[in-house]
């Protein structure tokens, strides 16, 4: 590869050149969803960010094994060793089997990811499918002396581990600080230290999902599954480990400790973390009433939304920020993203029909603008997957495409090589790397027909023929199209 890829590594707190352990193979593990409720938008953003990373690595020619787990057991309500298992609780409240809950929300999650045009991972292992591996891992940690058993539960001894290792290596914090800032959590009367965490938890009689083990009937601690499954599918050392930033301080910190204690090393070279979503500047949360599901966003069914936004516009909106920055949802920002997305999508459509004219005198300025924009597409992504930079470069390329398509510039004014490079780079980045596609609702015949109907309706309004204009509006609504009106008339429409 001619250009170097740099990634921001949480572990070292700096940008580093990406050098895989065994190129062209790359191993990437991303913590997946806990399938007990509808996937929320913050999670979607994380998985879309890693989809972008996965796609770019594939584009660079790497053979990527992308493992993203499904947590279907062991994730307790408090995210620590307290409360009820999230899946079990939902099953109990819904009077269903836990596996019915898991099935429903796994299928829903896959559908949402497909709607966002995210590629499926190479392997999607589940916690319940790897109980044996998790038990073996607990045994290995007991063998090295970093865990202890108390009445059927097994805990990781953080303070003992920290005598020879750096427990806070990922977030750069000292053990004393962490001890001072930790509240007392579940199982505390059994734990030797405040930061100790459960590897195996003894099941109460009413607990729904439990398995036999050398320590009695129980279930694995939440952090254990990711160590067990990454070990199994990517080996003891692999390239990238990712997840949401909220997982860094505890879940990933504990994962590293488990791996070091069982096989002697931190599992991943590069640790990547995605930032969170905010709504009008506030953290998105159910209790604040500003949280909505992907489906609500597509349909505009929330009091904070003035209308719906298609999945590609939302995907585009996420990519307008770097994965490490927060993203703030607002109607204005979504509207701007949709407009920008449509602009680039239109250029992609024009490009597919664009043929080069016979070469005339080469226009040096046009030629170098295209070459620079093509290089900038790569420069953006090579700079820690900086998608906003790449979008800007695509925008610059779209200017050349539009000028050739509308005839303001002769496409024969650039060399055939540069013309082909423009075509290839634009298509590669728009479709393959950024994972965008033409919005089916607004392509081809449908777009043309809707445009014609909207024109007729605007004309009816000008003629004060409100009966016709209302009839068109209602008729379209019944077949699933909503017109968006503003002072200038109807300017846009969405598929409901």
| Residue ranges binding Zn ion (CB under 5 A) | 31, 226
Residue 91 main-chain phi, psi, to 5 deg = -65, -45
- Work out the number of other CB atoms within 10 angstroms of the CB of residue 167: 22
CB of 424 to Zn ion, least distance (A): 37
Distance, CA of 354 to CA of 40 (rounded, Å):
40
65 or 342: whose CB is closer to Zn ion?
65
35 or 226: whose CB is closer to Zn ion?
226
Q: How far is CA 28 from CA 8, 38, 291, in A?
A: 15, 25, 30
Q: What is the DSSP letter of 70?
A: B
CB of 31 to Zn ion, least distance (A): 3
Assign 183 to helix, strand or coil: coil
CB of 225 to Zn ion, least distance (A): 7
124 or 485: whose CB is closer to Zn ion?
124
50 or 292: whose CB is closer to Zn ion?
50
Pairing of strands 25-30, 238-244: parallel
CB of 251 to Zn ion, least distance (A): 5
Contact indicator for 195, 180 with CB cutoff of 8 Å: no
27 or 308: whose CB is closer to Zn ion?
27
185 or 226: whose CB is closer to Zn ion?
226
**Judging by beta carbons within 10 Å of its beta carbon (0-12, 13-18, 19+), is residue 152 exposed, middle or buried?**
middle
CB of 30 to Zn ion, least distance (A): 8
CB of 82 to Zn ion, least distance (A): 19
Query: Which single residue is written with the structure tokens 């919005």?
Result: 439
- First-to-last CA distance in the chain? 44
Of the candidates 134, 124, 141, 128, the residue with the CA atom closest to the CA atom of residue 233: 124
CB of 92 to Zn ion, least distance (A): 24
CB of 229 to Zn ion, least distance (A): 9
Of the candidates 314, 319, 313, 317, the residue with the CA atom closest to the CA atom of residue 386: 319
CB of 75 to Zn ion, least distance (A): 10
123 or 460: whose CB is closer to Zn ion?
123
DSSP 231-287: HHHH-SSEEEEEEEGGGIIIIIHHHHHHHHHHHSS-SEEEEEEE--EEETTEE--GG
Distance, CA of 86 to CA of 93 (rounded, Å):
11
CA pseudo-torsion sign 242, 244, 249, 250: negative
127 or 147: whose CB is closer to Zn ion?
127
227 or 382: whose CB is closer to Zn ion?
227
């Amino acid at each position: 590869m001619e250009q170097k890829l740099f990634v921001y590594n949480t572990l070292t707190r700096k940008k580093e050149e990406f050098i895989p352990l065994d190129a062209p193979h790359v191993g990437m593990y991303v913590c997946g969803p806990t399938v007990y409720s509808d996937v929320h938008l913050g999670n979607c953003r994380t998985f879309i960010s890693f989809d972008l990373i996965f796609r770019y690595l594939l584009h660079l020619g790497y053979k990527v094994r992308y493992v993203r787990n499904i947590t279907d057991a062991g994730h307790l309500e408090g995210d620590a060793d307290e409360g009820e298992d999230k899946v079990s609780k939902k099953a109990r409240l819904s009077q269903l089997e836990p596996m019915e809950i898991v099935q429903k929300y796994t299928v829903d999650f896959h559908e949402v990811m497909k709607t966002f045009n995210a590629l499926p991972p190479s392997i999607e292992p589940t916690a319940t499918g790897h109980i044996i591996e998790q038990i073996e891992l607990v045994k290995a940690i007991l063998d090295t002396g970093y865990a202890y058993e108390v009445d059927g539960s097994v805990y990781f001894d953080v303070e003992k581990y920290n005598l020879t290792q750096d427990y806070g290596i990922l977030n750069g914090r000292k053990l004393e600080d962490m001890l001072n800032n930790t509240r007392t959590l579940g199982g505390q009367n059994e734990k030797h230290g405040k930061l100790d965490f459960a590897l195996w938890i003894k099941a109460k009689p009413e607990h729904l999902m439990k398995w036999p083990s050398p320590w009695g009937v129980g279930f694995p601690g939440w952090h254990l599954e990711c160590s067990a499954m990454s070990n199994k599918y990517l080996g003891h050392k692999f390239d990238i480990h990712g997840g949401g930033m909220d997982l860094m301080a505890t879940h990933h910190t504990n994962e590293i400790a488990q791996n070091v204690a069982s096989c002697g090393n931190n599992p991943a070279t590069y640790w990547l973390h995605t930032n969170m979503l905010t709504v009008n500047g506030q953290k998105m949360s159910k209790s604040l009433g500003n949280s909505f599901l992907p489906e609500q966003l597509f349909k505009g069914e929330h009091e904070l939304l003035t209308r719906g936004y298609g999945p590609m516009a939302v995907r585009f909106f996420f990519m307008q920020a770097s994965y490490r920055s927060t993203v703030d949802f607002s109607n204005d920002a979504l509207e701007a993203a949709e407009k920008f997305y449509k602009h680039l999508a239109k250029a992609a459509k024009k490009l597919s029909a664009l043929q080069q004219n016979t070469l005339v005198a080469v226009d040096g300025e046009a030629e170098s603008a295209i070459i620079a924009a093509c290089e900038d597409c790569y420069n953006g992504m090579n700079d820690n997957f900086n998608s906003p930079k790449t979008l800007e470069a695509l925008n610059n390329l779209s200017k050349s495409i539009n000028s050739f398509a509308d005839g303001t510039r002769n496409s024969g004014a650039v060399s055939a090589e540069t013309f082909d490079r423009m075509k290839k780079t634009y298509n590669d980045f728009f479709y393959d790397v950024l994972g965008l596609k033409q919005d089916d609702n607004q392509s081809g015949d449908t777009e043309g027909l809707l445009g014609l109907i909207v024109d007729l309706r605007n004309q009816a309004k000008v003629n004060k023929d409100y009966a016709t204009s209302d009839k068109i509006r209602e008729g379209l609504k019944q077949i699933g199209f909503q017109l968006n009106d503003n002072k200038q008339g109807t300017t846009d429409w969405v598929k409901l």
